[in-house]
Every structure is written in C-alpha cells, then in structure tokens.
A and B are shown apart, each in its own frame.
Chain A
Amino acid sequence: MDFKFSTEEEAFRREVKGWLKEAIPPRWRELPTGFWQETEESWKISRQFQKNLGMKGWLAPAYPAEYGGAGLGHIKRLILAEELTYHDAPVSIETEITVNWVGMALQHFGSEQQKQDFIPRIAKGDIIFCLGYSEPNAGSDLASLQTRAVEQGDNYVINGQKIWCSYAHYADYCWLGAVTDPDLPKHRNMSMFVVDMKNPGITIRPLINVIGCHSFNEVFFDDVRTPKDSLVGVKNNGWFQLAMALDFERSGVQTAAANKLLLDHMVNYAKTNKRGGKLLSKDPILRNLMAEMAIEIEVARMLCYRIAWIYSKGGHSNYESSQAMIFGSELLRRISDAGMRVLGQYGQLAFGSHRAVERAMMFRSYLASLSIGVGGGTNEIQRNIIAMRGLGLPRK
C-alpha cells in the first residue's frame, strides 16, 4: 500500500495550483459560487476557461493522446479535479457531462469515425453535450422510457420528451436514449444516439431550480431526423451503454474537495467570529461537529481515491462509485447543515444581500445539496446497485 502521490504527481499538483492563481478571472470571484452558472456572463467566463483548460490538455487529461487528450492518466485527472473544485474554478456540470460522462462513453462505444469526430472537439472544449435520459414517466425506472427512434431511409426519426436536461439550452449535441424496437423487452429495446441540437423539431423549455437558476430543461422531439450513423454502438444495446455512462457519471472524484472547501470556510469563520463574547472555535459542540465533518471528508476522499485508483489500474468502477456518490452527497447535506449552524443567523443571508458571508457559499450549498442525492440516480437506486451488484443480493 502507498497512500502518497508520487513526486511527479505532487509537482503536477503544484503546477495546477500555480496556473489557477493566474487563470481564474478576478470577475469570477465576484459572482455566485459553484454548482451552476447563473447568468450569460458566468456562462461565458466558464466556457472560455474550459477552452483555456483544453489548450493546456487539462480539460480531458486522461483521454488518450490519439484523440487529442493529454494522456495524463487517472491519478492526475483526480488531482486536477480536486484542485479545480477546491479553488472554485469556472468549471461546472456541463464539463462533467461532456468530458467525463459522454466523452468517456463515446470512447468505449463510438465508431472510429464518431471518435475522430467528437473526442478531439470535446478535449478542446469546443462542444457541449446535454443528456437525454429521464422522461416525465421514466425517472428512477429509466428503462421504461418512451421516446421512439424509427428508421426511415437514411435517418432515424425521433419523437418524445426528455426532462432534467442540464444546459440543453446551450448544448451542441444531446446524448440521447430512445426505444428502437418496442417489441423487445425493457433493457433490450433501446439505443443511444448523438443528436445535433440544431436539428429542426427540437423545442427547449426551461425549468428553474430552487436556487433560482436556469440549469434544467424539458426537451421535446417532434419528428427530429438524425442520420443513421448518429446511433452509437450496437442497436438495441443502448441500455448497457447508458449504464456504463452512468457509472462514469457516478465516478466523480471531486466531492471530497467540494466538501473541504465548505469545511475550510466554516473553520475559518469559527476561528474569527464570536457569539456571546466567545470565539465559536472554543465552543465544544461546534468543535466536535467540525471535527466530525473533517473525518467524514477523509472517508469521502478515500472512497473517491479508490475510484481513481481502480481506473488507473485499467479497471472499471461500478458499485464503488455508488458508494462514493452516496457518501459524498449525504456528506454535502451534513456539511452544509453544519456550516449553517456555525454561521448562525448569518447563514440565511443570500448572495447579494447586505452582510452576506463569503458570497453566501453555505446558503447556496445548503439549497443545492437537496439535488445532489437525486441526480445521476437517486441514492436509493445507488443503494440498490451496491446491494445487488456489489454484494450479490437477489433482485427477486
């Protein structure tokens, strides 16, 4: 066993930290923190930052060099993800979706032509994907999706409705699941497509999340024509490909870093603020609470590191990713709650309010944490995965 990073990896971390000092525009530090881009302005900063990352080879550090990646491997990808998250850099869910979920799946299942077409553009930050997974009647029971793709000449014609499509209003392409043979049973009746969002027949309607931000959308497909070669992998084998993409989605390694950012904020606050004439850092209840959070972050970090380690050895992380996701998301809720307790009355102050603390980081995290145990499969579904795939418990 060896829990340390190599000298070279440590040097890489220093390089990333040094670069970030210069690379994050000062204006970004005046905008609301983390999770979602709220405005045209923050979106533009974020997109430009991703292209800058792409130029350095750091947007898709683990992609192979032949597809425009830096070939840096999964441990350095972990280091980059941690530093970007901890420093609240202008990267957000759209990067995750495009680079780490869809891009990874395309590398596994795409034809050579699809790979040549998409992967280098993803690695450079030139294109953005949205996901076409959930439907109004297919949430946790995703395999019962209804959107149809019917072969017609050189095309598939798509009809149906998708929901919770983050950044569909900005996306260039949709990574879409649709039924291609309704006569086959669930799990064997669907295929995955890459659909150009400029196609006629696509209508996008915004859904505003509880933070007040437009991230989600409903996307309607009315007789949308997509070329036959936009089908990815094997026809009717889409469920397997989608499940693999979900494994990638659940393999995020940055949750511990996100939580560490929040912990440092509250520790710092506790060391410098008094209540009832006494420093908060001297309050035994808050000391115990913050120590507990630090310990849980360490557990979360190890669960994340395990994922990176599995991938670095050429393996595939499945239920291990679900463990990290459940733990990290539920920890985010506990940490946000702990942070609100430390901040006391100040915790309720929103971004832009007089006397708000640290751009209302804790306030936003407290609200945002509601979604974290839901997206990418609810924590209930993740627990099913751990039980059935990890522990071999029976389905029936």
Chain B
Amino acid sequence: MDLGLNEEQEMLKKSAREFLSKECPKKLVRELDESDSGLSRELWKKMAELGWIGLPFPEKYGGNGGTLLDLIVLLDEMGYNIVPGPFFSTVVLAGFTLLQAGSEEQKQTYLTKICSGDMIMTFAITELDGTYLPESIETMAEAKGEQYILKGTKLFVPDANIADFLLVAARTGKSTNPADAISIFLVDAKSAGVKVTLLKTLGRDKLCEVVFENVKIPSKNLVGKLNGGWPVIRSILRKATVAKCAEMVGGAQASLDMAVSYAKERVQFGRPIGSFQAIQHYCANMVTDVDGSRFITYKAAWTESEGLPADMEVSMAKAWTSEAYKRVAVLAHQIFGAIGFTMDHDMHLYFRRAKAGELAYGDADFHREIVAAQLGL
C-alpha cells in the first residue's frame, strides 16, 4: 500500500500549480467565463506544448504515455485553479473514447491532432432528460449507402460551441435491451444540419444544445463496432466521472485554502476570526471533507487505472465528492461573510463549479443507487 504520489506526479502537481497560477489567473478565468467561447487559444497552445493534452495517450499518437492516475493529478490542479476551456471534453470524453474504440486510422488522424492541440473535440451523450442511461438515447443514425443520416437533439453537451468534431452516441437499430443498439459516430461540427446553441449555466461552463437535422456522416466515421457503443460509453463515463471528481477535489482544496488564509488574517473583536472555535470547527470539517474526497477519488482512479472492476468505487467517489465539495464551498462562503457574496470575490467561482460538477455524470442520488445495487440491495 502506498497512499502517496510518485516523484513524477509530485513534479507534475508542483509545475501545474505554478504554471496555472501564472498563466491562468482569475482575471482570465472571469473573462472566459463571461465569453461565449470559454477558450483561450494561447493557454490551449501552451498546455499542448507542456504535453498536458496528450498526457494519458500513447507516444505514437504524440501523447506522453502517462496513466489515468497521472491525469487525475493534473485535473486536481486544474480544478484548484479553475481552468476554463475544453480540456476535459477533448482529453477525457473524446480522447479516451478514440483511444479505446477508434480504428488505427482514426487514432492517427484525430488523436494525434488532439495531442498536438490542433483539434478540439467533445462527446454528445445526454439528451432531453439529462441522464446517463442508455434508454435516454433517442437520436437516430440510419444507414443509407456509404453514409449514416443523423437525426436528433443532444443537450448539456460540453464545449460543442467550439468543438471541431463531435463524438455522438446514437441509436442504430431496434433492440429489446436499449443498450444493445447504440453506436458512436465522429461528426464534423461544420457538417450541414448541425446546429449548436450555447446554454447559460450556473457553472458558467459551456454546455450546449446540439441539434442534428439529417446530418450526413461517412460510414468510416463509425467509432468502434456497430451497435457496440454502450459498453464503450459506460467505460468512458466511468473515467469521466472519476476525472470530474478530481477536478472537484482540487476546487474544494482551493476553497479550503482561501478560507483558512482569510480566517488567519481577518480580525474581529480584536483577534483573527480563525481563533474562534466556531470558525476552527468549520475548517476542521472542511479539511476532513477535502481529504476524504481526495482519497476516495484517488482510490477509484487507481482501481480504474489498474483495470479492476471500478463501478462501485467510482460511484462512491462521485456521490461523496459531489456533496463534500458543496459543503466545503458553502462553509467557505460562510467564513468570508458578505464579501464572499460579491461578484468581485473569487469564492463564487468555486461555488458555481461545485454545482456544475455535481450535475455532471450523475449526482449523488444517481450514484448511490448504483452503490445500492452493488451492495446486493
């Protein structure tokens, strides 16, 4: 048993903290939050140069050959600093899908461009009911000669507004088990009939509606096996879930650190408010939530990384971290008092992300039901 990071991960963590505090200051975060694109090309390019975008992908596609756990360490720091942009969509949702299910040609064409920072990609999975269940996928892809005709509406798709390509989960036949007839397609975002509408969200992340009106897709853009999409999506959702947890752990850590340093400085009644037990106990609760979330998340990531069955671990991590981050953010707001309730203050940036993170890839109730089933209930 070794609960520590290895030397390279420690270095990655340290250099990520330094790089992001310099290159992604809160001023930039706010600008991107308020922009329509949410993207800084300059920052994106730098992250590609650092090898971050290709971190978990094999070297032959221009990646860095790292593990899921390495990526988790990086996402923890990205959550700490709040990094806007399509990193999560491109690397976790799209990159892992291509790596797992794509043909060699697709990997050479697309994954290589992703690693070099020349392609932004996302994965359109959820539809109108907003859940991550196979029965919720109603978008249809109908075979017609050398093409598929895609028709349907995807909702809550991250970063579709700036994506060059979208992976799309669509129904490719009829089946008694709704998971048996789902396939994944690569869709050029510039294709005729693709209509993207940016949603305005509490998290100020760039979620979109994507409508496909009889979009023509070349047959070679099928990713993986026909009707074999759902097992891939499940595996990707597991990775995305634990990856989102890592971002949330980082955000919770930042909320704690900000609140603790404020509690040491802010003087009332002639003493730092951090010397009052009421505040100390808030902080003690917060650090226990942060540490607990980090361990349960890293354990889930390690389990998935080792190729062991990880449904239980990942759901435990997401259920716990979703609520722990909210608790930490709320207590941090309480410690900041009125100043924390202003737009000028950074705290709300984290409070917003806590909610967005909770909703992504299943909230606590969704994952507790998975845990209950795993318990044999």
Contacts and interface: CB of A to CB of B under 8 A. Distances in A.
Contact of B1 (A305, A384, A388): A305
A394 interface: yes
Max chain A CB contacts within 10 Å: which of B1, B69, B275? B1
B291 A1 contact: no
Interface stretch (B117-125, B173-181, B229-237, B279-287): B279-287
B12 to A, nearest CB: 13
Contacts, number: 155
Contact of A383 (B274, B281, B316): B281
A288 B365 contact: yes
Interface of B: 1-6, 9, 69, 260, 263-264, 271-272, 274-275, 277, 279-281, 283-285, 287-288, 291-293, 295-296, 298-299, 302-303, 306, 313, 316, 319-320, 365, 368-372, 375-377
Interface residues of A, number: 50
B3 A387 contact: no
Contacts of B319: 291-292, 295
Given A286-B377, A303-B295, 19 more contacts: A2-B302, A3-B302, A75-B1, A291-B368, A299-B292, A299-B295, A302-B295, A309-B4, A322-B284, A387-B274, A387-B280, A391-B287, A392-B264, A393-B260, A393-B272, A393-B274, A393-B280, A393-B283, A394-B272
A294 B319 CA distance: 11
B1 A2 contact: yes
A36 to B, nearest CB: 28
A339 B292 CA distance: 23
A270 interface: yes
Contacts of B288: 303, 323, 326-327, 386
Given A299-B320, A384-B280, A290 B295 contact: no
Interface in A302-336: 302-303, 305-306, 308-309, 312, 320, 322-323, 326-327
Nearest to A279: B377
B314 to A, nearest CB: 11
29 contacts: A1-B2, A2-B302, A3-B299, A4-B1, A270-B377, A271-B377, A281-B377, A290-B377, A291-B375, A291-B377, A295-B316, A299-B292, A303-B291, A305-B295, A306-B3, A306-B295, A322-B284, A326-B284, A380-B277, A380-B281, A383-B285, A386-B288, A391-B260, A391-B287, A392-B260, A393-B263, A393-B272, A393-B279, A394-B271
Given A1-B69, A294-B371, A302-B296, A323 B2 contact: no
Contacts of A281: 376-377
Q: Which secondary structure dominates chain A's binding surface?
A: helix
A292 B288 CA distance: 17
A395 interface: yes
Contact of A393 (B275, B296, B299, B376): B275
A334 to B, nearest CB: 14
A5 interface: yes
Interface string A103-138: 000000000000000000000000000000000000
A287 to B, nearest CB: 4
Q: List 4 A-B pairs, minimum CB-CB distance, nearest first.
A: A387-B280, A302-B295, A383-B284, A386-B284
Nearest to A282: B377
Contacts of A312: 1
A271 B281 CA distance: 39
B45 to A, nearest CB: 31
Q: Which secondary structure dominates chain B's binding surface?
A: helix
A9 B1 CA distance: 10
Interface of A: 1-6, 9, 75, 267, 270-271, 281-282, 286-288, 290-292, 294-296, 298-299, 302-303, 305-306, 308-309, 312, 320, 322-323, 326-327, 380, 382-384, 386-388, 390-396
Contacts of A302: 292, 295-296, 299
Given A5-B1, A298-B316, A387-B281, A288 B287 contact: no
B376 A267 contact: yes
A267 B245 CA distance: 27
Nearest to B320: A295
Contacts of A305: 1, 3, 295
A391 B303 contact: no
A266 B285 CA distance: 28
Nearest to B69: A1
B275 A299 contact: no
A382 B284 contact: yes
Nearest to B285: A383
A390 B290 CA distance: 13
A195 to B, nearest CB: 34
Contact of B283 (A6, A298, A322, A387): A387
B302 A391 contact: no
B1 A327 contact: no
Nearest to B281: A383
A69 to B, nearest CB: 21
